[in-house]
Structure 1
Amino acid sequence: MNHPSTPAFEGMPPGRCTLVGAGPGDPELLTIKALKAIQAATVLLVDDLVSDEIVAMAPPGARIVHVGKRGGCKSTPQAFIEKLMVMAVNEGENVVRLKGGDPFIFGRGGEEVEHLRAAGIEVQVVNGITAGLAGMTLLGTPLTHREHAHGVVFVTGHAKPGDSGTDWRQLAATARAARLTLVIYMGVSSAAHIQEELLTGLPASTPVVVIQHVSLPQQRHAVTTLGELHATIEREQLASPSVIVVGDVVSGVAAAAGTGIGTGSGATALPSANRQAAGA
């Protein structure tokens, strides 16, 4: 590969780069535009959470580079990924940066776009369905509802080193006053702290659901309350990748289960957590 600052080889058509959201994992949740981008790629830089079925959609001969990125786990350095993108584009490659979920929702897509533009590279972004939305949809429950939730906040439970992170106390107060649903990404490992802070502004009885492996055959979820969040995660051994949804709309998960509403297959409810939430 060329040095990142060098132009494409003389006579070689300029390369391009597209950031593609692969969605939560189910290949059928890909957008048509995402599929077309994957099928046209000559180089794919693939995140850890992208399913094998989606990677298999790449054309024969495409170079696939796995650059594992998973919140809270050891990952390929971001600077190295950005360097690879620039080098491949400068060699005339059609580069697809394939990310789980949506590139612009905790996918570090903003940082990558800034880096590519600074290198003089035109970049396109293709949205994907984010896990928080897909997970609740698969449970037959909305994130907003005219009677129960007037808005939704997507928030990360994982702060970079040296960052104080989310002000959970302020967020809890705002969520209660404005009737907001909280969708927490990368929050399982810090659930005890998040629970403690949110309880300063939200009732212990606030409904919560933790959804693991959204949209995949092994998807499972546990309905509980804010007061029992950490205990439920520990008891049911819920781990990353999971999303935590907090708010009154979660009450609809149990109702949807009782009517068969939902669009997913293979999703498993954890009965002990559901009984705990119900006070059994």
Structure 2
Amino acid sequence: MPKSPKLTVIGAGPGAVDLITIRGVKALQQADVVLYDALVDTQLLDYAPEAEHIFVGKRKGCYSYHQEQINELIVSRAHDQGHVVRLKGGDPFVFGRGAEEMTYAAEHGLEVAMVPGISSCIAVPAAQDIPVTKRGAAESFWVITGTTKEHKLSDDVALAAKSNATVVILMGMSKLDQITALFKKEGKADIPVAVIQNGTWDNEQIALGTANTILAEVESKALKNPAIIIIGEVVRHKTALEAIRRELILEEIS
């Protein structure tokens, strides 16, 4: 019997292969076709050894497929082969276009399902000992795209700069100078900032500074996308922990 056409959108997590969920692995094991993005560790494809694997991501602005082509590929492969898994980095509902793909698939007769992923906006800072909320430091947090579909800085960054919340910005490296300028305009030149490149991967790098100094720190370490920008008092938690660890080591030595 031919298989019913189905799309499952899976969040692969922030990068490290072991941060995908068990539910995500089970769905991969049932796939007939896997369409995967650039920020997905290809080791995850080992969970679907019999499936067809198709890379549909982009690297350095170069697209293997445009979004309209990905949508059509999902539908055609599902009707021809059955269960299509769309494997996306982080969580597909956080700036991941997962909702768009599910809507298109449903409109073309596919059964659709979603497996949430661990979002990089929380997990990448956490892996570097930076909480997005902390009692006495931040009561809330913003998650903002640094670049809108018009390729401009989101107006929400200016609004967030006026608040006391932690601000997490994805896809904002090319506009870091504009972002820090907005915080300095609000009198927050000394607010702590962290920039984390390749979060949770083996080649992860981090730069720490303030709105005044982070541009120089990023330049000195040659950090670039994919990276996350975290702005707020919570960044001090990392440096405070490091100070405690150093003190403990010195006590042991003495």
Give the deviation of 1:162 after TM superposition: 6.8
3-state SS, counterpart of residue 212 of structure 2? helix
1:23 has 2:22 as partner = no
Give the deviation of 1:163 after TM superposition: 6.1
Q: Counterpart in 2 of 1:254?
A: 239
- State how 1:43-82 maps to structure 2 within 5 Å: 43-58=33-48, 60-69=49-58, 73-75=61-63, 76-82=65-71
3-state SS, counterpart of residue 189 of structure 1? helix
Tell me the TM-score normalised to structure 1 length. 0.82
Deviations 1:18-63 (A, max 9, x none): 00000011111111000111111110000001012222222x2210
Q: Aligned pair in 2 of structure 1 residues 259, 125: CA closer, same or farther (>3 Å)?
A: farther
1:117 has 2:102 as partner = no
Distance in 1 separating the partners of 2:153 and 2:232: 24
Q: Counterpart in 1 of 2:252?
A: none
Greater shift in the superposed pair: 222-231 or 77-86:
222-231
- State how 1:179-194 maps to structure 2 within 5 Å: 179-194=164-179
Distance in 1 separating the partners of 2:94 and 2:175: 19
3-state SS, counterpart of residue 134 of structure 1? helix
Q: Counterpart in 2 of 1:170?
A: 159
The residue type equivalent to 2:123 in the other structure is A
How many residue pairs end up in the alignment? 245
Contact persistence 1:169–1:201 (CA under 8 A): no
Q: Aligned pair in 2 of structure 1 residues 202, 39: CA closer, same or farther (>3 Å)?
A: farther
Q: Counterpart in 2 of 1:136?
A: 125
The residue type equivalent to 1:241 in the other structure is P
The residue type equivalent to 2:184 in the other structure is L
Pick from 207, 210, 213 the counterpart of residue 228 of structure 1.
213
Distance in 1 separating the partners of 2:179 and 2:62: 22
Distance in 2 separating the partners of 1:186 and 1:162: 11
Q: Aligned pair in 2 of structure 1 residues 100, 94: CA closer, same or farther (>3 Å)?
A: same
Give the deviation of 1:13 after TM superposition: 2.6
Distance in 2 separating the partners of 1:172 and 1:184: 12
Q: Counterpart in 2 of 1:203?
A: 188
3-state SS, counterpart of residue 254 of structure 1? helix
Give the deviation of 1:202 after TM superposition: 4.9
**Unaligned residue ranges in structure 1 (runs of 5+):** 1-10, 262-280
Distance in 2 separating the partners of 1:260 and 1:163: 41
Give the deviation of 1:89 after TM superposition: 1.3
Q: Counterpart in 2 of 1:32?
A: 22
Give the deviation of 1:135 after TM superposition: 1.5
Greater shift in the superposed pair: 204-213 or 85-94:
85-94
Q: Counterpart in 2 of 1:267?
A: none
Greater shift in the superposed pair: 41-50 or 248-257:
248-257
Instruction: Give RMSD over aligned pairs.
Output: 1.9
Tell me the TM-score normalised to structure 2 length. 0.90
Distance in 1 separating the partners of 2:174 and 2:9: 28
Q: Aligned pair in 2 of structure 1 residues 168, 95: CA closer, same or farther (>3 Å)?
A: same
Distance in 1 separating the partners of 2:212 and 2:99: 35
Distance in 1 separating the partners of 2:152 and 2:174: 17
Give the deviation of 1:259 after TM superposition: 4.2
Distance in 2 separating the partners of 1:96 and 1:47: 11
Distance in 1 separating the partners of 2:183 and 2:58: 28
1:217 has 2:167 as partner = no
Pick from 236, 241, 256 the counterpart of residue 226 of structure 2.
241
Greater shift in the superposed pair: 195-204 or 43-52:
195-204
Give the deviation of 1:222 after TM superposition: 1.1
3-state SS, counterpart of residue 252 of structure 1? helix
Distance in 2 separating the partners of 1:136 and 1:164: 22
Distance in 2 separating the partners of 1:164 and 1:234: 20
